[in-house]
Amino acid sequence: MEAREGRPRWLSLVANLVILAGILLVVLELRQNTDHLRLQLRDQINSRLYENNRALMGDNPLASIEKSIVDPEAMTYSDFRIVDAYLINAVNEWEDRYFMYEAGLAEAAEWRHRVDEDVEWFFGNQYAKNWWHTNGAVLIEPELADYVTSAIANVSETATYDFFEATRVRSGR
């Protein structure tokens, strides 16, 4: 029952188990650090994308956004790029929240709530719905894309404009 050096075998076994546990903790910490670094890099990339799209939208994107809602046939290529940037930024915000969930920093309900809260505003018109099915769904993670696609399917093609009209009527105009 004695080890070669005169120590009991159980003491060597315990020492080896402690060393193994220490190595496992280091591996776990490295993995967590890698996951957090990945999340930081995604955030930086999305931040740059957001800023680039913000620059494309210019100082006053509202005319192009309005045109996409009330008269999409009159849109120019410049209008398209402005509205494209606007919609990408909306989806980018949802994706940021999704990545936080994926990293274990938020609950799934948080990113789903944000999509449910915003989907009528951003995708409650025919132009935005077409944009989503043509461009948007391929830009993001499949689970998020599937959720957004099902949320958009439940939104009226006039929801954005209807919201505006309802708000305008309530404000007395």
Which residue type sits at 15?
A
How is the chain split among helix, strand and coil, in percent rounded to 5? 80, 0, 20
pLDDT at 47: 75
Where in the chain are the domains? Answer: 9-170
Mean pLDDT over the full length of the chain = 87
* Phi, psi for residue 36 in degrees, rounded to 5: -70, -40
Share of the chain above pLDDT 90, in %: 47
**Rg for the chain, CA atoms, rounded:** 26
What's the CA gap between 90 and 20, in Å, rounded?
A: 47
The helix/strand/coil state of 61 is coil
Find the angle CA(90)-CA(156)-CA(137) to the nearest 5 degrees: 40
Highest mean pLDDT among 3-17, 96-110, 157-171: 96-110
pLDDT at 4: 57
Indicate if the pLDDT at residue 173 is higher than 60. no
Share of the chain above pLDDT 70, in %: 93
What's the CA gap between 72 and 74, in Å, rounded?
A: 5
Least confident of 25-29, 47-51, 95-99: 47-51
128-172 residue pLDDT tens: 999 999 988 888 889 999 999 999 999 999 998 888 888 886 665
The continuous run of DSSP H or E covering 97 comes out as helix 77-102
pLDDT at 148: 96
Measure the N-to-C terminal CA separation of the chain; round to a whole number of Å: 93
